[in-house]
A and B are shown apart, each in its own frame.
Chain A
Amino acid sequence: MATTSTADPTRRDMLYIATGAASAVAIGAVAWPFISQMNPDASTLALSSTELDISAIPEGQIVTIKWRGKPVFVRHRTKKEIKEAEDVPLAQLPDPQTDQARVKKPEWLVVVGVCTHLGCIPLGHQGPFDGWFCPCHGSAYDTSGRIRQGPAPRNLEVPDYAFLTDTKIKIG
């Protein structure tokens, strides 16, 4: 056995590498289900859309509904709020986006009611920009749900939604 340290690969080297490679694949294949089981399950994914009748929401009011466990704000904006949102120069916005790009109809703003900082629910009609104010860490949003001041990095998210009729929307 004194001659085992030759330059030529032996049967043992070959078996060692092949076994190691197969083990690495096997470990990965076994690990994946243990990681994947923590992702949203089928029952969570099934609760993906919700409908709302908006005919009863008067001008100026914000209605909160639950979608995927999170609040969604449906805001019937006043003319003044729409104008405020449209008149802001994009240069003043940390996350520049026009108001037109965030609404389907100017009177109706639909946003996910989760602060983009750390997930608190901002309070409506509060803060320096008349939109929302997050009580947790002081982020202020305007009447288009765009971040204007504070630690939040992004505008309030606009979910996928559609007007089914003039008075009914479907979120998700």
Chain B
Amino acid sequence: MSGPSTYVPKSAIGRWFESRLPVMGLVHSSFVAYPTPKNLNYWWTFGAILSFMLVAQIVTGVVLAMHYTPHTTMAFNSVEHIMRDVNWGWMLRYLHANGASMFFLAVYIHIARGLYYGSYKAPREILWILGVIIFLLMMATAFMGYVLPWGQMSFWGATVITNLFSAIPLVGDAITTWLWGGYSVDNPTLNRFFSLHYLLPFMIAAVVGLHVWALHVVGQNNPAGVDIKDVEKDSVPFTPHATLKDATGIAAFVILYAWFVFFIPNFLGDSDNYIMANPLQTPPHIVPEWYFLPFYAILRAIPSKLGGVIFMFGAIVMLVLLPWLDTSKVRSAVYRPVYKILFWVFIACVIGLGYLGSQPPEGGAVLAARILTAYYFAHFLVILPLLGLFETPRPVPASIAESVLKGDTTELGKA
């Protein structure tokens, strides 16, 4: 796909540089001449949107760190200092806090797109697993970032999540004490979380590099789920086509981002986090940020501490194993009539889990969460392996060009 670069610098200086370090050729072959399937829709712009959000989070985060103090007695007030005293501090903090939510919104859409169009299937397993690693790093980064303002939810969220490790048999308590640097979440914990919160985004950037590299080796999936066979007929150059389409997607996404930042900056936050952390009082109802709610619901659905932790992490492990659990040879849901429905049932299941994660763990909510948790795992462990064997897929187009030129894929299916 991305063979040796055919890039020839126009200037003499360019040629001199390229023969010593061929970085412009790498950029040219990756983001200019790179062939993209000509049938990509707007769901494929979320990779670029995510890259934009990573940069936005790093830039706002670096400047916030210039004004923030990672100490239990000063952290909460330093955040208020950012909000009230620092020039444009309110905007920078709201950009960073809402940026985390936007980052997760984009990554969930990006993952859902992969699920719908079968982007995890051979030969894209490594690409997919690198994506799951990025997702895990994002969750760790977001969790530690949420602790830094040292509000009530910061403190109690940190307490609940770090206590997950105490469920590990034999060494759990020792690991938890080691993570805390004490006997409870306290100043040493806040300090190391700040350090790691600053580090992890750069690790994410590194894995994103591998993710893009793997993508450019195997080529992009596309709505038809068939690979590029004829570069001339099936693909268009990345620039200007994908560049401008990605730019359009980013612009639209930034409008949504700006809407949150400037009109409803605290809509996604929890008001309890504007109360300074108090180690002697647990808020009546602890909830994580919205993007963790489905996993939190799974944690609470299992009536055993270790079991809850295993199932919560198991929910992510399902994604890692997905390339081998889905036995269907057809990638795109467009040509899988039953999977197409079950995909939306699965999305509804995850949203349902998210809603239940936000509710107090009482009565019907517990039962409902157990049913949806069972369905979540059944989707991966029972439905997908069997569906590939029993489902009759519709005819897959011979090429991307054919799927585009024949127009509506529904007609193609009937033909």
Contact = CB atoms under 8 A, between A and B. Distances in A.
Interface of A: 35, 38-41, 44, 64, 66, 68-71, 114, 116-121, 123, 134-138, 150-153
Nearest to B279: A69
B182 A66 contact: no
Contacts of B284: 135
A150 B162 CA distance: 20
Nearest to B156: A120
Interface of B: 156, 159-164, 166, 177-186, 188, 192, 279-286, 300, 302-306, 308, 361-362, 366
Given A64-B280, A137-B361, A138-B361, A69 B160 contact: no
B362 A40 contact: no
Contact of A118 (B159, B183, B279, B280): B159
A33 B201 CA distance: 25
Given A134-B282, A153-B304, 14 more contacts: A35-B178, A38-B192, A40-B182, A40-B188, A44-B181, A68-B183, A117-B305, A119-B159, A119-B163, A121-B282, A136-B286, A137-B300, A152-B305, A153-B306
Contacts of A153: 304-306
B179 A38 contact: yes
Given A121-B281, A121-B282, A136-B160, A151 B183 contact: no
Contacts of A119: 159-160, 162-163, 166, 184
Contacts of A121: 280-282
7 contacts: A40-B181, A69-B182, A69-B185, A118-B164, A119-B184, A135-B286, A151-B305
Given A66-B280, A69-B183, A118-B160, A39 B305 contact: no
Contacts of B186: 44, 69
B308 A151 contact: yes
Contacts of A138: 361-362, 366
A151 B188 contact: no
A64 to B, nearest CB: 6
Contacts of B302: 151
Contacts, number: 91
Given A64-B280, A117-B305, A121-B280, A44 B159 contact: no
Contact of B178 (A39, A68, A136): A39
A135 B281 CA distance: 11
Nearest to B300: A137
Given A69-B186, A151-B303, A135 B282 contact: yes
Contact of B282 (A44, A69, A120): A120
7 cross-chain pairs, A with B, having the tightest CB-CB distances, nearest first: A69-B184, A119-B163, A68-B183, A118-B163, A121-B282, A118-B160, A119-B159
A70 B184 contact: yes
A172 to B, nearest CB: 10
Nearest to B301: A151
Contacts of A114: 184
A40 B178 CA distance: 7
A38 B281 contact: no
Nearest to A48: B183
Contacts of A66: 279-280
A136 B286 CA distance: 6
Contacts of A134: 282
B183 A136 contact: no
A120 B161 CA distance: 11
Contacts of A117: 163, 305
Contact of B304 (A35, A64, A123, A151): A151
Contact of B183 (A38, A40, A64): A40
Nearest to B362: A138
A151 B279 CA distance: 22
B177 A120 contact: no
A73 to B, nearest CB: 11
B373 to A, nearest CB: 14
Given A69-B279, A120-B156, A135-B282, A44 B305 contact: no
A116 B159 CA distance: 12
A114 B159 CA distance: 10
A85 B300 CA distance: 28
